[in-house]
Structure 1
Amino acid sequence: MPVPHELAIAGIYLSPMLVAATLGLILALTVAHLLDRYRLSRYFAHPALVLTSLSVIFTLLVGTLFIGI
C-alpha cells in the first residue's frame, strides 16, 4: 500500500500527519472526558500530562493503523 503524501479533504490538501494529529487529539479528549466522568482521573498525579500522553499515543496509532505514516 503506497503511503499518501497528502490527503484531499473538500478540495483542501492536508498533510497526513496533520489529519492523524487531529484525530488523535479528538480521541484523547474523548478518553479524558470519560476518565473525568467516571472519576478515574483522580488516580493520576498530573491529569494534563496524561492528556498529552494520550494524544501522542492516539496520534501514533491513527497514523500507523489508518493512514500508514
Structure 2
Amino acid sequence: MPSEVVLGEMYFPPLLLAVLISYCTTTLFSYVGNRIGLYRYIAVPAIFELSLVVIITGIISRFWYLV
C-alpha cells in the first residue's frame, strides 16, 4: 500500500480510505440483501456485516496498487 494518499491538501492513511470504501460497499450489499430477503438466512446480521467489512478491506488493501 502507498504510504499516504493526498486529496487536495489533506493527507489520509490508505487504510482509512480502504475501510471507508469497504463500509460503503457493505452498506450497499446489506441494502440489496435486505430487499431480496437474504438476511433471513443469516443468524447474526451485525457480525456478518462486520466480517464483510473486514474481508473487503483486506481485499482492497491487497490489490491497492492495481487501481
Please say if 1:47 is aligned against 2:34: no
- What's 2:22 paired with? 24
**Equivalent pairs, count:** 66
Using structure 2 for the length normalisation, give the TM-score. Answer: 0.89
RMSD over aligned Cα atoms: 1.4
Paired AA for residue 60 in structure 1: G
Alignment gaps of 5+ in structure 1: none
Using structure 1 for the length normalisation, give the TM-score. Answer: 0.87
Runs ≥4 residues deviating over 6 A? none
CA distance in structure 2 between the partners assigned to 1:32 and 1:50 by the alignment: 10
Q: Identity rate of aligned residues, in percent?
A: 27
CA distance in structure 1 between the partners assigned to 2:21 and 2:5 by the alignment: 14
In structure 2, the CA distance between the partners of 1:54 and 1:61, relative to structure 1 (3 Å rule), is same
Give the number of the structure whose residues are more often helix, by fraction.
2
Alignment gaps of 5+ in structure 2: none
Please say if 1:60 is aligned against 2:58: yes
